[in-house]
């Protein structure tokens, strides 16, 4: 089959499946000329979103004299948490959309192009895609996410868990209560909701992805135990994991900013946040990789079946080889030198090795380590708070000299 005919065999939904090209916010960005049909205008989108979230805070605090002055315990320019959220993590969430779209676009069609989904199950596969797209485009879902952001994200989690209990650029003390400043109102009504909505929408998309994989895992896939990817031909699915790296990095940036504020403004120590960092890494990696365990049962069954079938074939060939070359069954005029029988026997052994090494998950340990590294990398600079500059330089000189 030619490549043109192969591509033509995909339906439009199979060829153009995307987790991110849809939803009310996507349509709004299109109308505002902040995005193209395939997420063009990335720089413009980042500049506008970060500008709306961060720039008014700077202007309002400059006007109020709380940008860098000593009127409050926490001036705006010293608020590390807010800066890394809005200037680093928020752009990462926007960049992640483009990366996930580009990585996922050719992947879904691989289920069909590789023959993993039979023609008999093609309708069920297309129904799973159509269902995922309906959830992605849901207006109700994004309205609920927005409500959760304002009621829970800002109203509860930010006020009780994240905000520092010191006089700051976003809130002052009056009769024992924190009273938001103008910058604080913008933070609570615009900046934080925008960031939290983008983050929460990402986990909603991951939920759609998990639901889609669950539906596909219920289809009897035509796996090939002899495939050299050691994954029955599903190795392509693991490549999507790397696309979520900017999302995990954004989560790490948020955690690093929160910890940094507490280290520099409340005297906390980095080691006090061991539990939070462990939970963050476990959760972030789990939501990306655990959904792929849905295919483990089918991969295990394919490995067992392949082992039996190739084992029987190898046994018959080995017996014939033994009878021919070791028991005198070969014709007298047939030379052993140059015979393909020995190479075929070796090839059968290699095929059996491929099956026994077949993985039960479409990803590797390297994938896990890279995702863990992406999540923890933003926290790494904070380890310098555990040692003074003099001590650090002294240790470096000892190592080098």
Domains of the chain by residue range: 3-230+240-290
Say how far apart CA 150 and CA 186 lie, in whole Å. 13
Per-residue pLDDT of the chain (401 residues; tens, 9 = 90+): 344 444 447 888 888 899 999 999 999 999 999 999 999 999 999 999 999 999 999 999 999 989 987 678 889 999 999 999 999 999 999 999 999 999 988 888 999 999 999 999 999 999 999 999 999 999 999 999 999 999 888 877 776 666 676 778 888 766 656 788 899 999 999 999 999 999 999 999 999 999 999 999 999 999 999 899 999 999 999 888 899 999 999 999 999 999 998 898 888 899 999 999 999 999 999 999 999 999 999 999 999 998 898 888 888 888 887 787 777 777 766 666 656 677 777 777 888 888 888 999 998 889 999 999 999 999 998 988 877 666 766 766 666 65
pLDDT of residue 154: 82
DSSP label at 293?
A: G
Q: How many of the other CB atoms lie within 10 Å of CB of 47?
A: 13
Q: Which two tokens stand for residue 287?
A: 């939501």
What pLDDT is attached to residue 5? 43
122 neighbors 221 (Cβ within 8 angstroms) = no
The pTM of the full predicted model, rounded to 2 decimals, is 0.87
* Helices 122-136 & 192-217 angle (0-180, nearest 10): 170
């Amino acid at each position: 089959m030619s490549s043109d005919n192969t591509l033509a065999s995909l339906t439009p939904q199979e060829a153009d499946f995307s987790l991110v090209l849809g939803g009310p916010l996507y349509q709004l960005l299109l109308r505002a000329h902040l995005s193209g049909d395939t997420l063009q205008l990335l720089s413009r989108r980042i500049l506008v979103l970060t500008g709306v979230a961060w720039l008014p805070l700077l202007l309002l605090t400059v006007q109020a004299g709380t940008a860098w002055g000593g009127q409050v315990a926490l001036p705006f320019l010293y608020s590390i948490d807010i800066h890394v959220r809005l200037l680093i993590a928020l752009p990462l969430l926007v960049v992640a959309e483009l990366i996930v779209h580009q990585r996922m676009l050719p992947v879904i069609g691989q289920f069909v192009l590789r023959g993993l989904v039979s023609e008999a199950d093609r309708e069920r596969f297309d129904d799973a895609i159509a269902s995922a797209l309906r959830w992605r485009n849901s207006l109700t879902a994004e309205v609920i996410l927005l409500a959760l952001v304002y009621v829970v994200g800002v109203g509860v989690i930010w006020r009780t868990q994240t905000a520092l209990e010191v006089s700051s650029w976003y809130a002052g003390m009056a009769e024992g209560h924190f009273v938001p400043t103008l910058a604080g109102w913008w933070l609570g009504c615009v900046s934080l909701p925008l960031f939290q909505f983008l983050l929460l929408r990402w986990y909603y998309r991951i939920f759609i992805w998990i639901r889609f994989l669950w539906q596909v895992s219920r289809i009897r896939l035509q796996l090939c135990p002899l495939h050299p990817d050691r994954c029955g031909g599903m190795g392509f699915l693991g490549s999507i994991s790397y696309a979520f790296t900017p999302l995990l990095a954004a989560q790490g940036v948020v955690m690093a900013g929160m910890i940094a504020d507490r280290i520099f403004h409340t005297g906390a120590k980095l080691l006090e946040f061991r539990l939070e960092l462990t939970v963050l890494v476990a959760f972030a990696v789990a939501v990306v990789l655990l959904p792929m365990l849905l295919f483990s049962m089918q991969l295990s069954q394919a490995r067992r079946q392949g082992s039996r079938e190739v084992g029987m074939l190898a046994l018959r060939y080995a017996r014939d080889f033994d009878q021919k070359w070791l028991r005198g069954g070969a014709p007298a005029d047939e030379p052993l030198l140059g015979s393909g029988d020995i190479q075929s026997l070796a090839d059968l052994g290699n095929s059996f090795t491929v099956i026994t090494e077949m993985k039960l998950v479409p990803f590797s340990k390297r994938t896990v380590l890279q995702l863990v590294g992406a999540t923890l990398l933003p926290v790494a600079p904070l380890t310098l708070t555990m040692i003074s500059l003099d001590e650090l330089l002294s240790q470096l000189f000892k190592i080098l000299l």
